Structure 1
Amino acid sequence: MNKIRVISLLSVFFLGAFGAISCNESQKTSGKEASYDAKVDEKSEGTQKTVLFFGDSMTAGYGVDQDEAFPALVQEKIDSLGMDYKVINGGLSGETSASGLSRIDWFLEEKPDIFILELGGNDGLRGIKLSATKENLQSIIDKVREEYPATKIILAGMQIPPNMGEKYTTDFKEIFPNLAEENDVVLIPFLLENVGGNPALNQPDGIHPTAEGHKVVAETVWKYLQPVLR
């Protein structure tokens, strides 16, 4: 089976308690972030294509084994169908749209054939100006297209609780479908569909999916990714 290359864990704070959990995650992920270079190998030569998941702790699989995170489960689905795709897990703890934009150039060296963008959740919970979040996500999309016009892009939508007020929450949710329409990219309406807010599928922090929760997320992602793979 193809190996998924992992950068680190990252945190999307879906249901609150940002400050304490942010600190906790940094402590837990620092060792894995430092060891990433030793785990990366060169991209396989030949016809194998690359699927790059570029996101935060939801992508990185915070709190679960790496083979339980949804990108790894997607790789299993790909392998079971005999498709020649390699999945790269490009998750980083605490990632925002701005920090993602600052490191996207390095990841584009992987020459992704399919690029799944899963960022913005941390922006929303920090109350970052919505226009800045949208601009950063747009810039990431632009960079991918400028470098690799043929790369297929999928945008993962996110939602936040109404802590910042109803208007902010509603307008944040609309960033993703608006970007998808403006850029003609595939939209996953809500990455955590049937998982967010369900205690049975989330870890004790009430934020990050359990291994069972990641299975549900993988099914959600697969519904939109499979047609693109084919």
Structure 2
Amino acid sequence: MLVLPALGQAAPIPATVQPQAPPTVLVFGDSLSAAYNLEAAQGWVALTEQRIAQAHPGWRVVNASISGETTAGGASRIVAEVARVRPSVVIIELGANDGLRGLPLPDTRRNLARMIGAAQGVGAKVLLVGMRLPPNYGAAYTRGFERNFHELAALFETAFVPFLLEPIARDRSRFQSDNLHPTAQAQPALRDHVWPVLEELLD
């Protein structure tokens, strides 16, 4: 699947928008990053914020994740959000809801590209966090869905975590009753999975 360079273009952002002190990690995700059905402090993003405070004092974390968010929603919000927050690092964890709804793969790809482009456009480093779908969505769709993340990470030269749920995916006990959202007990494993890749971006 070919991607035209134009897919990474976002609405113009003022040239004066630059990362400001303190350096900030902006998290753009869905319910997996919004601590769905948990206390906010229990989620992997909040746990990551705690670790950053210990290992890299002076950084802050802004969690702009919204439960139910699609890549279209993220693409519609990100220009204003990066202009407001002025992040040094942007974590993009979106796409799962697109896949669960069977939305067109080219649309998901285009939206993710726009988000990456908007973040890089203000000088932020990007960590793209991928997702996988269960096999009942069909082999062609699931392969294409996963391939989107890999190819975009390579195209835009972002940091990359291929599958957020990798450390817990095979353990049913680590998911809530909906079998989609991790339990509070599983959140530290998600933090630890993302951390080595994220820490490299915290200069």
The structure 1 segments of at least 4 consecutive aligned residues displaced by more than 4 Å after TM superposition are: none
Alignment partners' CA distance in 2, 1:222 and 1:144? 20
Alignment map for 1:1-230 (pairs within 5 Å):
47-108=21-82, 109-146=84-121, 148=122, 150-230=123-203
Shift of 1:47: 3.3
- What TM-score results when the alignment is normalised by the length of structure 1? 0.77
Please provide the CA RMSD for this pair: 1.5
Matching residue's letter, 2:133: I
Deviation readout 1:126-167 (Å, 9 max, x if unpaired): 111111100110011112222x1x211000010011222111
- Is the alpha carbon distance of 1:163 and 1:81 closer, same or farther for their aligned partners in structure 2, counting shifts above 3 Å? same
Shift of 1:84: 1.2
Q: Structure 2: which 5+ residue stretches go unaligned?
A: 1-19
Deviation readout 1:73-104 (Å, 9 max, x if unpaired): 01111111242110111111211111111111
Alignment partners' CA distance in 2, 1:54 and 1:101? 10
Alignment partners' CA distance in 1, 2:90 and 2:56? 20
Bigger fraction of residues in helix: 1
Q: 1:197 touches 1:206 (CA, 8 Å); kept in 2?
A: no
Matching residue's letter, 1:57: S
Q: 2:72 touches 2:111 (CA, 8 Å); kept in 1?
A: yes
Shift of 1:106: 2.5
Shift of 1:68: 0.7
Equivalent residues, number: 184
Same amino acid, percent of matched pairs = 37
